[in-house]
Amino acid sequence: MPPKRVIGTISLAGCFGCHMSILDIDLKFLELIELVEFNRSPLTDIKTFTKHCDIGIIEGGCCNDENVHTLISFRKNCDILVSLGECAIMGGLPALRNKIDLYDCLKEAYLNVPSSVPGNQMIPHHPDLPKILDRIYPCHEIVKIDHFIPGCPPCDEIIWKSLTNLITGKSETIPYPFLKYD
């Protein structure tokens, strides 16, 4: 039996819906873990790479410097990098702020928000907090991405077919109805 392929996954500026969609493959997970092992991933709670990965799956784009650092680390530690879902591919919903000046955005979120305490409003800042970027960056604008799996989230079927194609080297066609760009 060939050695198991190693997979890492990460959620950057996303809602975790794409990871939930990975879990939607349900019983096929039993087949999947015969073929792969998961390394760094929220699914394993392994927070740093303990071995080089064959495949890295990225959910979400980059909204802060920590996202950029994590993405670069995935590029270094994974042979194949996959953008999973619209947030990773195009910025997704978080990119709605791309047309708004960053300070205006922070002002609206922290100073003008109705729940702020009058006289006590502040924009959070601390050396330990990640620095917010001027806009949301899709992953391929930061590092080379090898494959894109569209959808918000991509459905379990397209995730399963794409993953098995990557793992086994087959190129099974993904039926058009599974490709959703919304």
The total of other beta-carbon atoms located within 10 Å of residue 170's CB is 9
Confirm if 26 and 156 have CB atoms less than 8 A apart: yes
Nearest distance from residue 52's CB to ligand SF4, in Å? 26
Considering the complex, state which of residue 93 and residue 100 has its C-beta at the smaller distance from ligand SF4: 93
Q: Which of the ranges 33-41, 85-93, 129-137, 166-174 carries the binding residues for ligand SF4, by CB under 6 A? A: 85-93
* 28-35 vs 156-168: helix crossing angle, rounded to 10: 20
Considering the complex, state which of residue 7 and residue 87 has its C-beta at the smaller distance from ligand SF4: 87
Residues 126-165 that bind ligand SF4 (CB under 6 A): 152-153
- Output the CA torsion sign for 80, 85, 90, 162: positive
Structure tokens belonging to residue 56: 């890295």
With tokens 């190129």, the residue in question is 171
How far apart, in whole angstroms, are the C-alpha atoms of residue 52 and residue 140? 21
Residues 55-74 that bind ligand SF4 (CB under 6 A): 59-60
Asked if residue 93 binds ligand SF4 (CB under 6 A), the reply is yes
Q: Which residues bind ligand SF4 (CB under 6 A)?
A: 14-15, 17-18, 59-60, 85-87, 92-93, 152-153
